[in-house]
């Protein structure tokens, strides 16, 4: 292996209890991301709690408990190799209350693996109006995850087990709403698996003789195969923008004894090197990078797509938070915005959206309440042509250009200059009410002056 494998970030999404963690855990285990001894330990512990079927899920969920106690940030388990790529897995929670975390996870991904349960009643619950399957897929699309893979899980629990009719029914249902969202169903592979028995994950299944294999048609070429692992190998790695200035939205900031302050996040554009002076926005701080780590290995150069932790000098943990953006202080440093103009589509809002409406905007890893300051023009969703100026209100299904004002400092960029920092979803009433892209930003001029004083 002379050449390092390409890095791909995969987010696992889907309705609560569709078997995301179990599937992922099994995959990581099969691909050598965790050893047998460790798994047996989980198996015992899970059995004692009467949850024996959770042993694979614990590969991932064990970490969640560790995270709460603030022990080292061990994301290494979630890394495994396929023939072609090094995969970093982001296991997003499926529960309604965690949609915020799911958005943070998804905004960091290149590919989404949507896990849908084929078990009786569970699929219907996931795609119903209140289910998360639809919403997750929609958010993935909005947040720019253009490749999606659908795993039809729990095939061992259909009636009868491994039933082709049920699989076809699920595929029909899911491709229906994926198409509405904007994905092309022909380019989406559908794979029947069982995350618990490991059926059709790594090796072709014997129990589903009817399954001819998945096929995809994409502009970059066609692909086909049988197992989930083959699907992961058929992913088209995303194009990384190295030549742009650095933008690194922080996912978390840790304080590690003996090391100091360690922000963690995914580099969206540009390059990060030790010795660089970073500017953090909207925190308005500058700091020097001491060292960089990815999966517990030191790095001299971190590139776009890398999920890294880096150590900085003389900044207290409390001064930085999730949603801050780091950039190179010498080259187009990030700054917070006073307002921005965006093109939005209202998805499911029960009433009317008027100027002054203030939902929570999720953009990259930031979650900030923003006010719809003015509704500038209403557009035709399909063509983007203007329908009317200064509309009084917007309803579900309308597209519009609006001016948004964040109620506390927030760093975003226009979609054209830094795509990952220019897409957002708006949440209210525990659901996604709108999605949009940022067309232009009005930067806060004061931040540049203040930053110079701090130096």
Burial of 5 (0-12, 13-18, 19+ CB in 10 A): middle
Point out the least confidently predicted range of 43-47, 133-137, 159-163, 253-257: 43-47
104 has a pLDDT exceeding 50 = yes
pLDDT at site 60: 56
Question: pLDDT digits over 328-375, tens only?
Answer: 999 999 999 999 999 888 877 888 999 999 999 988 889 999 999 999
The token pair at 452 is: 């110079």
Over residues 273-287, mean pLDDT: 93
Cα–Cα distance, 320 to 316 (Å, whole number): 7
How does pLDDT run across 391-430, given as a tens digit for each residue? 999 988 788 999 999 999 999 998 878 878 888 888 887 7
SS3 content of the chain, % helix, strand, coil (to 5): 25, 35, 40
Task: Put residue 352 in one of left, alpha, beta given phi > 0 → left and psi -120 to 50 → alpha.
Answer: beta
Is it the case that residue 300 has pLDDT exceeding 80? yes
Of the candidates 147, 10, 9, 103, the one whose C-alpha atom is nearest the C-alpha of residue 424 is 103
Confidence of residue 78 (pLDDT cuts 50, 70, 90): low
Q: Whose CA is closest to 381, among 370, 364, 394?
A: 394
Ramachandran quadrant class, 48 (left: phi over 0; alpha: psi -120 to 50; beta: rest): alpha
Q: Which residue has the higher pLDDT, 372 or 127?
A: 372
Lowest mean pLDDT among 5-14, 151-160, 317-326: 5-14
């Amino acid at each position: 292996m002379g050449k390092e494998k390409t890095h791909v970030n995969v987010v696992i999404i889907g309705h609560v209890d569709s078997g995301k963690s179990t599937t992922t855990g099994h995959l990581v285990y099969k691909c050598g991301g965790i050893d047998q001894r460790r798994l047996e330990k989980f198996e015992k512990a899970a059995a004692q709690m009467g949850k024996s079927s959770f042993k694979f899920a614990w590969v991932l969920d064990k970490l969640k408990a560790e995270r709460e106690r603030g022990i080292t940030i061990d994301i290494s388990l979630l890394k495994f190799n396929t023939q072609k790529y090094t995969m970093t897995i982001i296991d997003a929670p499926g529960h309604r209350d965690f949609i915020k975390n799911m958005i943070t996870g998804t905004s960091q991904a290149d590919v989404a693996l949507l896990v849908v349960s084929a078990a009786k009643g569970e699929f219907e619950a996931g795609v119903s109006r209140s289910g998360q399957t639809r919403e997750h897929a929609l958010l993935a699309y909005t947040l720019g995850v253009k490749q999606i893979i659908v795993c039809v899980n729990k095939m061992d629990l259909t009636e009868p087990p491994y039933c082709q009719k049920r699989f076809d029914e699920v595929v029909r249902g899911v491709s229906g709403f994926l198409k509405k969202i904007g994905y092309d169903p022909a380019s989406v592979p559908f794979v029947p698996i069982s995350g618990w028995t490991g059926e059709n994950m790594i090796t072709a299944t014997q129990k589903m003789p009817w399954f001819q294999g998945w096929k995809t048609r994409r502009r970059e070429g066609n692909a086909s195969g049988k197992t989930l692992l083959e699907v992961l190998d058929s992913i088209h790695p995303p194009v990384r923008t190295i030549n742009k200035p650095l933008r690194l939205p922080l996912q978390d900031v840790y304080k590690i004894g003996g090391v100091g302050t360690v922000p963690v996040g995914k580099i969206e554009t540009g390059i990060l090197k030790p010795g660089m002076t970073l500017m953090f926005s909207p925190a308005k701080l500058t700091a020097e990078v001491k060292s960089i780590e990815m999966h517990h290995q030191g790095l001299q150069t971190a590139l776009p797509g890398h999920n890294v932790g880096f150590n900085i000098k003389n900044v207290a943990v409390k001064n930085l938070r999730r949603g801050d953006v780091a950039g190179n202080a010498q080259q187009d440093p990030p700054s917070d915005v006073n307002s921005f103009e965006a093109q939005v589509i209202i998805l499911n809002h029960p009433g009317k959206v008027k100027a002054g409406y203030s939902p929570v905007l999720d953009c990259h890893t930031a979650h900030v309440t923003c006010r719809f300051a003015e509704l500038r023009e209403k557009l035709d969703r399909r063509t983007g042509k203007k329908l009317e100026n200064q509309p009084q209100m917007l309803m579900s299904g309308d597209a519009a250009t609006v001016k948004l004002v964040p109620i506390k400092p927030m760093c975003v960029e226009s979609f054209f200059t830094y795509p990952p920092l220019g897409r957002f979803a708006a949440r209210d009433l525990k659901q996604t009410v709108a999605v949009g892209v940022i067309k232009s930003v009005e930067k806060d001029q004061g931040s540049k002056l203040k930053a110079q004083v701090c130096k």
